[in-house]
Chain A
């Protein structure tokens, strides 16, 4: 058995070590470490104020943590600490290799430009200048997120919440990112709209092999989408592991409470 080859592990895409963020005397999140592998979907759950959004903002480069490191496997130069690279490089990374889907589509969309332009803009940001190509990519992505192509020239504020959220997803995925961060992507939507969006996200993540970090308070969402789960309470990660293991055999008192609090339908 000692002669058996070791299990082959790919290189992590994201490596987070000892991440702590304080808001003055208050703790946002404390001493969080994890690796995220290509194609892996990590769910972060916890009640409001548990630190999950703070953690997401720090690992997605939107906010510099007080302590700790967030390293990303860049295509050309290997693991680089997000907060040690130049601002320009970090912004390029966020525009190209990453996507961020916000809870409120208004935070992730440009409300005063058309749906097509919202998608095309990301392509232009990575240097695409061919109008015909940009237009056809935009059409393709709007179709993939099941939007009505007839509305490609309409402004996002004329769309329903579910459509805005789908547009936000198309805008993020058009550059074929390797990593997408999602903050409560379905919580502002009606249940039936939520279900369709979840099916869509699940299909896209699976077929494109995108790694994903999803923050939510909805255990149903993580059961459906995530491979792995981190449970947060009071800024600390109290439990983590394989999603079905954490949900079916929770070890920590808080996770047990969380799982037992789901109302049966």
Chain B
């Protein structure tokens, strides 16, 4: 296996993904082939390419939410390396709990659970006391301007922008070593966009590796270290 230096946090190699729609005549949709890239400590890699080029599919694959047909995704998990394409579900759950944070485009949460509980639960799962977890959850919710009156409610009735901020809070409440961000600023106003930019740059500052999709050129300029063009991998396909 390849030898990685100390700054490498995630390395994907030979990663290929297509979809076969068995119930629609077995149509095969190629998305990418033999993707290879590395994310290092303290950098933000921007996935570039036009809409429909497979950026989100790649990001979901890196979270093991989608299953690539070939290749490896090596993730630095504490002292160990885990290949998400070969790991067992039990291992992936642990990597997601401690190492890999993911902000999806749309909030999908357990129904009927209060916002504050949604945000603090992962911390309790990591061993924090309920009180300490609650305090951190309150801090991040306040910072993302979720009105305190909403904290005790489930977010299903919130506005699009509020839901997106809850989504961001659920991930940024924890100091994940690796962050995957799928358009985290898409439906935010200017002030909240600034907050998210600050959160991302703080995460970079503490050494997190970030891989993200950002439509807004301003945000890209504010957080990006370099970009990776997904269409390169598509042309190769």
Contact = CB atoms under 8 A, between A and B. Distances in A.
A and B co-occur in one complex: yes
* Contact size range, A: 20 to 34
Contacts of A1: 1-4, 74, 81
A2 B74 CA distance: 12
Contact of A5 (B21, B67, B80, B87): B80
Contacts of A7: 77, 80, 82, 87, 91
Contact of A244 (B65, B77, B88, B90): B65
B113 to A, nearest CB: 8
A257 B23 contact: yes
Interface centre among A1, A8, A241, A248 (most CB of B within 10 A): A1
B112 A195 contact: yes
A241 B89 contact: yes
Interface residues of B, number: 32
Given A1-B4, A2-B1, A40-B90, A245 B79 contact: no
B90 A37 contact: yes
Interface string A234-253: 00000001111100110111
A252 B20 CA distance: 9
Contacts of A241: 67, 89
Contacts of B91: 7, 9
Interface in B62-121: 64-67, 74, 77, 79-82, 87-93, 110-113
A253 to B, nearest CB: 4
B190 interface: no
A91 interface: no
The 3 closest A-B pairs by CB, nearest first: A253-B22, A228-B89, A242-B89
Given A7-B77, A243-B89, 19 more contacts: A1-B3, A1-B4, A2-B1, A2-B3, A7-B82, A199-B112, A206-B125, A224-B111, A227-B89, A227-B93, A241-B67, A241-B89, A242-B64, A242-B89, A242-B92, A245-B67, A249-B65, A249-B66, A256-B22
